[in-house]
Amino acid sequence: MCVINLGLVGCAAMFRLSALIAARLVCSWSRRVVFIVAAYHVAAGRRRDRLRTIKGVAVAEVIQIRNSQATVKQRNPWGWIALTIITFGIYSIFWYYFANREMRDYGAANGDQELAESNPAMSVLAITLGVIIIVPWFMSVYGTFKRANRSSEIAGQGEFITPGLGLLLTFFASIVMFPVLQNKLNQIWATQA
């Protein structure tokens, strides 16, 4: 009994130590990522009055959608990779929600009924809990690329990628496809500036 208790105490101490080390690594890496993202926005010539900042460092450009009070963000597409790794995947869930919400708001502002009726919360639910059943994940990613295509067509930029190909590439390389999707969204949002 004493050996088991010592084992549990030792495990708890190791868990606390590893959590402390992980937290320290995340903090140091997150500062580096914020500076990389800020350098991207400065190099891209973003307007200072429209930049979101964290402790004075620019991380995204906020753009108001024409004919609407809603806003969208131009984000560093490759910052997605670093932030997803640093937060152990949590950032990607939030990004997925906001990307789908921005496409919904963009469609509503431009009179597109199909985009306006999309539900970003259901999309996130499908890629998180729906992954257990597998099918909802595929449907959600397919739908996201379909919305990206529709947003691109509204902006007059033509089709971005067929939803089926986007789904296939995301299945095998989501660490690359979602930044590519964010890059396309940045191009679409630039038409609103």
pTM higher than 0.75: no
Buried b (16+ CB within 10 A) or exposed e, 125-151: ebbeebeeeeebbbbbbbbbbbbbbbb
Pairing verdict, β 71-75 and 57-64? antiparallel
127-178 pLDDT tens trace: 999 888 889 999 999 999 999 999 999 988 888 888 999 899 988 888 888 8
Q: What phi and psi values does residue 39 have, to the nearest 5 degrees?
A: -65, -40
Pair 26, 86: CB distance under 8 Å:
yes
- Diameter over CA atoms, the chain: 71
Burial class from Cβ neighbours inside 10 Å (0-12, 13-18, 19+) for residue 176 reads: middle
Structure letter (DSSP) for residue 52 = E
Cβ neighbour number for residue 58 with a 10 Å cutoff: 20
8-57 pLDDT tens trace: 344 444 445 444 454 554 555 445 544 444 444 444 444 544 555 554 54
